[in-house]
Structure 1
Amino acid sequence: MTSSLDNLFTPDLVAAQQPQWPGGLDGEPVTKAVNTLKALPPLVFAGECDNLKAKIAEAAEGKAFWLQGGDCAETFAAATADSIRNRIKTILQMAAVLQYYSSLPVVKVGRMAGQFAKPRSNDNETRGDITLPAYRGDAVNDLEFNLESRTPDPDRLVRVYNTSSATLNLVRAFTQGGFADLRQVHEWNKGFIRDSSVGERYEAMAKEIGRALAFMTSAGVNPDEFKTVDFFSSHEALILEYEKALTRIDSRTDLPYDVSAHFLWIGERTRQLDGAHIDFAAKIRNPIGVKLGPKSTVEDALTLIDRLDPDREPGRLTFITRMGAGKIREVLPALVDGVTKSGAKVLWVCDPMHGNTYEAPSGYKTRKFDDVLDEVKGFFEVHKSLGTHPGGIHIELTGDDVTECVGGGEQISHEDLASRYETACDPRLNHSQSLELAFLVAEMLRDR
């Protein structure tokens, strides 16, 4: 089993966006961390990955809708019960609204329990006359700006595993132990509408959901599906030493799965066709996503399909588009049309976050809620014009009342950003903005 894994991945390929580990990849610190990870139990099971793949296949056929959300970059310090609960609660609230108005099952996926690493534009960061390694996420180093904190530490990879394990334990408890009961989720949404400055707009929608739930209760309908939900984990497959160390051979099928998460995606900066990340993704049997930015071509998409899904397996491949509000209507049509005409069946998901980041006058990175919303609108418009299914959304969010993205019903301004700007990397929609987006996307789904 070990030898088959050792020979699974093509050696000596260039891996973009990797840390400069002390001692290099063959040094004692990395070797020790990798060997520790190889001996640890799986965080998820291959059968769960296959279950998600089947749900993705349904979504690609227009029979479900994908909702993926969570932190830009998780941190060890924020892996608390309250923080995890609030993120799950936010996603469940969004899903309830989307499901009612689309009449489609919503596939709920957390950008959590593994999203501890981030690609960076520069290897180093300079402040004044001091230059240090860039912060690459808690999986690699610490945000604090000193040499000790910024030096990459392979032991952090083991801490990623342990923190992910604790997070998944809470996720399973919250989603299977009654916390996720649909009726409870509806009560939370009623609270949002009552307390939100824009709640009045969505009050009629919430009352419709309430009447539907009341009707089912009066008819004696009380299915177990109301009380528990399937909730899947995902993160960017970035640090390859971590992902390879957590790849296992499934005892049922003798096939390799990355058991660090149910769903892995390859980022825009690491999807080089001749690179180590695409080679890794091609070899594992998890469902896989690939980010496509505004410079993506039809040829890129078709080549990625051939590399990652040569057998055209239903649910295997998801394209997550991150174009920017100003470019999605221009770039996306050719991609969707070209892939559709090829006969390949992928799930199309909109990431309206990464193409809409800018620097506020105060120096904070931020995003406008209206830009996020407009990119989703453009995504729906393109699919409607082509007769294809707008398969889902991929949102960076938190369940807390942070002030990182401007606009929305709370009318957060550039001046407000400093009051509660807590992200370790990119700006996230807060709890209220996330729910507002869900109600607006629900309207798009209803009219699709």
Structure 2
Amino acid sequence: MAVGTVPWCLVSALDVWRTLPAKQQPSWPDLEELQSAYNQLAALPPLVTAPEVRSLTERLAMVARGEAFLLQGGDCAETFAANTANKIRDKVKTLLQMAVVLTYGASTPVVKVARIAGQYSKPRSADIESSTGLPSYRGDAVNDIAATAAARRPDPMRMVASYHQSAITLNLVRAFATGGFADLSKVHEWNKAFVRDSAAGRRYEVMATNIERALAFMAACGIDLGSAALTGVELFTSHEGLLLEYERALTRVEDATGNPYDLSAHMIWIGERTRDLGGAHVDLLSRVGNPIGCKIGPKASPDEVLELAERLNPQHVPGRLTLITRMGAGKIRDALPPIIEKVNAAGPPVVWSCDPMHGNTRDVSGIKTRHFDDVLDEVFGFFEVHKALGTHPGGLHIELTGENVTECLGGAELIGEEDLGGRYETACDPRLNTGQALELAFLVAEMLQQARGERAAAMQELPTA
């Protein structure tokens, strides 16, 4: 069967994946509909550009060298219904607030990558939902969350709809990033309001005051706080490259270089469930020029992770590969060290990032949730492991929202089990609300500050020549 002008078979290196096992793909009921959707996607303009993709690789190379920190965050699963201006604004706002705090704590640039403008598909543990007997909801790019047979029918034209939703989102994100919304002084005022109103505000008051003094010092030195460099930011997009037909349709060969790029987003990651070395996801994404992320769970062996690193970044390009560990608070301190030691000994440059969300999911009376303390403990464990090994804890990968939801337990707001039903709005996994996300940022900034102080003290103790 033909898709566009090429047959659905092995016609180029970019199509080798079609001959390999492909996990977590929908059971599309009509292949002619799938062909039509692919044709339309392949004819649409790219959502991002190859030079932008290369810029992100350069920024992530700084992270790999220990010269920057990565903050990646956003929705678990975007939905068409929630794709409103206010919700997009609030997610961007929360990410910017976190980034300012982390920048101060690390005293290095923070590379900002949003889970946005494409996170419309999700892997599932079963094809059939046990509670309803219906096909599982796989994200708005595949089917609808409504519990009816018609709604749950996989519809490939929803991939085309998700492209258009992503384009709308991306247009607004670009405007927020460059149109004054990201003004450093304004973002700091938002953080001051958080410190003032948060139940844990006193703990972060000193850091907020120090940031304010730093801004005042910059102004006193004649630095224009209204300059373009301080009123705009680089904000990149990312999503899980789950739906292979979507990712392949938006993969384009750049005329200037002859290199292929997946131009559905700046960064694409491979999930824990689809990172098989002999699988279709690893094969396709190993062939595009984007920065690639790969989720690594506690069952991954050091040899397996090293093989993945070599497969996804055979030329050892700095910034090309981010390994996103998702171990769980109780496992990270034991499972992560041998993996880091194995990969680092072999030499491929890697950004080490921590996803403290997915390994800490729990069930409370049939409701999927996470506890802030578990999230924080996994982050602590991530930093402890890197400190012990002398390696760079490169970043955080967080599921968050700009809304005041009650999906994760704990935090300064002391969200309890009885509160989960108050505003539980996620389409899939529980997210940190804006207060919990900012609290996490301040706590991580404290860790970064402490680590910076310890490095400075160690340098002072070194004998001089």
Counterpart of 2:214? 212
The match for 1:374 among 374, 377, 381 is 377
Deviations 1:117-142 (A, max 9, x none): 00000000133xx5110000101001
Counterpart of 1:321? 325
Give percent identity, aligned residues only. Answer: 60
- For 1:30-41, list aligned pairs within 5 A: 30-41=34-45
C-alpha distance in 2 between matches for 1:431 and 1:318: 25
Counterpart of 2:454? none
C-alpha distance in 1 between matches for 2:241 and 2:179: 30
Q: How far is the alpha carbon of 1:28 from its aligned partner?
A: 1.1
Counterpart of 2:29? 22
Q: How far is the alpha carbon of 1:9 from its aligned partner?
A: 2.1
C-alpha distance in 2 between matches for 1:316 and 1:213: 34
- Please provide the CA RMSD for this pair: 1.3
C-alpha distance in 2 between matches for 1:320 and 1:306: 16
C-alpha distance in 2 between matches for 1:331 and 1:256: 35
C-alpha distance in 1 between matches for 2:254 and 2:178: 25
Counterpart of 2:107? 103
Counterpart of 1:279? 283
Q: How far is the alpha carbon of 1:3 from its aligned partner?
A: 6.4
Unpaired runs of at least 5, structure 1: none
Counterpart of 1:338? 342
* Contact 2:310 2:348 (C-alpha < 8 Å) held by counterparts: no
Q: How far is the alpha carbon of 1:411 from its aligned partner?
A: 0.2
Counterpart of 1:266? 270
Q: How far is the alpha carbon of 1:429 from its aligned partner?
A: 0.2
* Contact 1:257 1:284 (C-alpha < 8 Å) held by counterparts: yes
Q: How far is the alpha carbon of 1:344 from its aligned partner?
A: 1.4
Counterpart of 1:161? 163
C-alpha distance in 1 between matches for 2:11 and 2:140: 27
C-alpha distance in 2 between matches for 1:403 and 1:251: 48
Deviations 1:267-317 (A, max 9, x none): 000011111000011111101010000001111111112211111111111
Q: Does 1:50 align with 2:57?
A: no
Counterpart of 2:199? 197
Counterpart of 2:398? 395
Matched residue type, 1:97: V
The match for 1:440 among 436, 443, 447 is 443
Deviations 1:239-285 (A, max 9, x none): 00000000000122110000000000000000111110000111111
C-alpha distance in 2 between matches for 1:239 and 1:92: 29
Counterpart of 1:135? 137
Counterpart of 1:9? 15
Counterpart of 2:83? 79
C-alpha distance in 1 between matches for 2:443 and 2:404: 19
Counterpart of 1:426? 429
Counterpart of 2:184? 182
Q: Does 1:257 align with 2:257?
A: no
Q: How far is the alpha carbon of 1:327 from its aligned partner?
A: 0.1
C-alpha distance in 2 between matches for 1:433 and 1:214: 28
> Residue 181 of structure 2 aligns to a residue in which SS?
coil
Q: How far is the alpha carbon of 1:6 from its aligned partner?
A: 5.0
Counterpart of 2:308? 304
Q: Does 1:149 align with 2:151?
A: yes
Q: How far is the alpha carbon of 1:79 from its aligned partner?
A: 0.6
* Contact 1:9 1:283 (C-alpha < 8 Å) held by counterparts: no
C-alpha distance in 1 between matches for 2:283 and 2:139: 23
C-alpha distance in 2 between matches for 1:102 and 1:282: 31
The match for 1:112 among 113, 116, 120 is 116
Q: How far is the alpha carbon of 1:12 from its aligned partner?
A: 1.6
Deviations 1:361-417 (A, max 9, x none): 3x2100000000000000000000000000000000000000000000000000000
C-alpha distance in 1 between matches for 2:100 and 2:430: 24
Q: Does 1:68 align with 2:75?
A: no
* Contact 2:94 2:402 (C-alpha < 8 Å) held by counterparts: yes
Unpaired runs of at least 5, structure 2: 452-465
Deviations 1:16-55 (A, max 9, x none): 00000012xxx21000000000000010001001000011
Q: Does 1:356 align with 2:360?
A: yes
Counterpart of 1:243? 247
C-alpha distance in 2 between matches for 1:167 and 1:399: 15
Matched residue type, 1:180: A
* Contact 1:235 1:263 (C-alpha < 8 Å) held by counterparts: yes
> Residue 9 of structure 1 aligns to a residue in which SS?
helix
C-alpha distance in 1 between matches for 2:378 and 2:88: 27
The match for 2:238 among 230, 234, 243 is 234
